[in-house]
A and B are shown apart, each in its own frame.
Chain A
Amino acid sequence: MALTGIQIFKLLPKTNCKECGVPTCLAFAMNLASGKAELDSCPYVSDEAREKLAEASAPPIRPVKLGKGVRQTTTGGETVLYRHEKTFFNPTILAGTVASDIAAADLEQKLKIYNAFQYERVGLNLRPELLVVKDAGAGADAFAATAKCIAETSEFNLVLMTEDLDVMKAGIAAAGFKRPLLYAATEANVDDMGALAKENDLPLAVKADSIDALMPLTEKLTGMGLKDLVIDSGAREIKQALEDQVGIRRAALKAGNKALGFPTITFPCEMASNLDMETVIAAMFVAKYGGIVVMSDFAAESLFPLLLERLNIFTDPQRPMTVTEGIFEIGNPDENSPVVVTTNFALTYFIVSGEIEGSKVPCWLLIKDSEGLSVLTAWAAGKFGGDDVGMFVKKCGIMDKVKHTELIIPGYAAAIAGDVEEELPGWTITVGPREAAHLPAFLKTK
């Protein structure tokens, strides 16, 4: 539970030394309570107070850091049930599975293929982040060798999946440096697995066969001092799995249930018999609260739709993704190159600039601030009208860069052509195609 300003004030030094930037400790406490200040701004809080404050301000669902390196991620840390209430913070992590007995050459080949599954979109790199090394009963050495190869030769982070303590130890020895998730502590091995995770300071997944059975296990583990837990309610049937995901999320956010305040791990790979069906089940978990989604395999056709869905669901609904207003040079344009205008919605920019690049026709792309709205939306909302587009073209400085006087506007904005013309006397306003996909052919005729 969050503390009030007065409760926080009681934990501060009360010297009013002003180093935090406000005149009194009380003022600072008030700012902390309302989220306007960071505790670190006061150099004098005692460790004890710091711990109390951290505990009290701990998020209802623990953010758990997984892995190391460029594909390091965090799961959990969510604060709402519905994305429109604020936003979802940490995108569902996508994991593939590798059996511990895979032949070295096959693994190398597989990693090469998996590594290529990366997609640029709206300035982001979309890609999966985890591989599960699944104990296939081939012994500790095979398990360690597979984990080591993935950890050392790929960017992927790992889940070490075995309930055998010795096998897990071997896996940790080989790949522990990459902060793998250990899967899993169960009722049968909870003490030993807990100790192992603690000793190596690694995140630990907890598996039970119901939410009911899960709670005593997480309580025991937090009692041992473990914080970074990931939970699996054991449901492998879709209907129950959805109920559990919703139940866990609500318990943490609405009922303050600390025993369930952790991200979840889910297994479409154990819920379907083919990758297509796994993919649609994974789609459910991306929307409804899966922290980690484990697939049996990765294929471009199944990953790409899930990555798009994830991008959409985890976009901040309060701030459309935008690019800055201005002139973008695509492919070294010169004074005769076409001038194209569109809005500053990141998706629109991404699509249009991609098509222009693909056309190999160097262009000046003018991005007009339209508050992050797409062409039609911006036009309908009055943020991409003829007057403002014309004014913007005048002011942005493009006239010093080109000798010609032709402006290409989006096909969907054909209605503004007349007004732009009025604002830009002497210019020819050319209405481009509606879909950006037709831009290359169009530009080539220029």
Chain B
Amino acid sequence: MGFELTKESYAGGIKAVTIGKGDNALTIGGQTCYPFYQFEGEMPGKPIIAMEIWDMEPEEWPAAAMAPFKDVLGDPVAWAKKCIDDFGAQLIVLQLKSIDPNDKDRSPEDAAALVKKVVDAIDVPLIVWGCASPAKDEDVLKAVAEACQGENLILGPVEEKNHKGIGAAAMGYGHAIISSSPIDVNLAKQVNILLENLGIPLDKVLVDPTTGGLGYGLEYTYSVMERLSMAAMAQGDDKLQNPMINNLANEVWKCKEVKQTAEEAPELGDPERRGILMEAVGAVSYFMAGSDIMIMRHPEAIKLAKAFVDLICD
């Protein structure tokens, strides 16, 4: 008797979310099977890598992460363009680090003006990521939403605490949002329900499950993502059928082993390749858990992750 693959019976799929506008719009998600299980479902779009840029010059990046961008680190517009022109980025994430109230505390108006400048300068969709301080993110993302009306940006992270303000602004000015919760299926569902109650259609929502670094909590995020996929697809829970996004670069590149020099940690090998491979291996792990957008930093890590996605999809 021949071998017959035992197939999963799915009760639902992931919603397709469109971001950006016009010719440059991208559709995320839409899959009807677990990650890359194309033998039993469809993956219409491949998972996408978003290249991150910061709104200020990073102070603590290891040398390996700085090197590819050294001429543009203080200039977000040039930085974004470099990502697109030199490294083929399909999607940009602007990390608003400078708005952190415990640090530089940049004003909502300034931040919004900067986002507008970046959005006008690039021809790929833009994600705007706050500083994870709920009140400040609310103020800033509201201003950003207004300044960039109709651009169909993706704004996040949106938590229970600030969902009303950011949600209403996103709806009013035509943007998608990222619903965020700390590694918990029920909390993820709760934020989505709150957003829906506010009147936001769930096909304008991505889910951020909260991302742990490789060796620093990856397993928790990994499993919660698998559980979210199961809830969405095997159980058909229509409150959780959203594409997922992982803010990976931040986590990987801040850990000790990525920062150690060859002198400090000779046993860990070449610091540059080490960081690149830690980012790439982290990315593949989360792709296997169901990530639809991976926020990444190093062009070489991105190349590897992209090559992997291409190979496994086609």
Chain A residues close to B by CB (< 8 Å) = 82-84, 116-119, 121, 210-212, 215, 238-239, 242-243, 246-247, 250-251, 254-255, 260, 276-277, 279-281, 283-284, 286-288, 299-302, 304-306, 308-309, 311-313, 315, 317, 347, 351, 374, 380, 435-437
Contacts and interface: CB of A to CB of B under 8 A. Distances in A.
B190 to A, nearest CB: 16
B164 interface: no
Nearest to B269: A300
26 contacts: A116-B267, A118-B267, A238-B308, A242-B37, A246-B5, A247-B5, A247-B39, A250-B6, A255-B6, A260-B3, A276-B304, A279-B280, A280-B281, A280-B284, A280-B304, A283-B285, A284-B308, A287-B222, A304-B278, A305-B280, A305-B282, A312-B215, A312-B222, A312-B285, A313-B222, A437-B256
Nearest to B39: A243
Contacts of A304: 257, 268-269, 274, 277-278
B24 interface: no
B2 A305 contact: no
Given A239-B311, A242-B36, A251-B6, A117 B215 contact: no
Interface in B250-288: 254, 256-257, 259, 267-270, 273-274, 276-278, 280-282, 284-285, 288
A308 B278 contact: yes
B82 to A, nearest CB: 23
Interface in B13-69: 36-39
B273 A301 contact: yes
Q: Which 10 A-B pairs have the closest CB atoms?
A: A300-B269, A308-B215, A301-B269, A305-B281, A283-B284, A312-B219, A301-B273, A287-B288, A84-B223, A301-B274
A300 B267 contact: yes
B257 A238 contact: no
A286 to B, nearest CB: 8
Contacts of B36: 239, 242
B307 A277 contact: yes
Nearest to B256: A437
B84 interface: no
Given A247-B3, A283-B285, A305 B267 contact: no
Interface string B212-228: 00111111001100110
Contacts of B314: 239
Given A250-B5, A304-B257, A311-B215, A84 B305 contact: no
- Say whether chain A's binding surface is mostly helix, strand, loop, or mixed: helix
A82 B2 CA distance: 26
A260 B284 CA distance: 26
A351 B276 CA distance: 22
Nearest to A355: B256
A279 B277 contact: yes
B131 to A, nearest CB: 14
A290 B183 CA distance: 26
Interface of B: 2-3, 5-6, 36-39, 182, 214-219, 222-223, 226-227, 230, 254, 256-257, 259, 267-270, 273-274, 276-278, 280-282, 284-285, 288-289, 304-305, 307-308, 311-314
Contact of B308 (A121, A211, A280, A374): A280
A284 B282 CA distance: 10
Given A242-B36, A284-B288, A312-B218, A437 B259 contact: yes
Contacts of A243: 5, 37, 39
B120 to A, nearest CB: 35
Contacts of B226: 82-84
Given A281-B308, A283-B288, 8 more contacts: A83-B222, A83-B223, A247-B39, A283-B281, A300-B270, A300-B274, A305-B281, A313-B285
B230 A82 contact: yes
Contacts of A242: 36-37, 312
Nearest to B310: A238
Contacts of B6: 247, 250-251, 254-255
Contacts of A239: 36, 38, 311-314
Contacts of B223: 82-84, 317
A302 B281 CA distance: 9
Nearest to B260: A437
B257 A347 contact: no
Contacts of A210: 3
Contacts of B277: 276, 279-280, 301-302, 304-305
Contacts of B217: 347, 374
Contacts of A288: 288
Contacts of A212: 2-3
A385 B269 CA distance: 40
Contacts of A317: 219, 223
Contacts of B256: 351, 436-437
Contacts of B270: 300-301
Contact of B284 (A82, A246, A287, A347): A287
Nearest to A377: B182
Contacts of A116: 267
A115 to B, nearest CB: 11
B267 A117 contact: yes
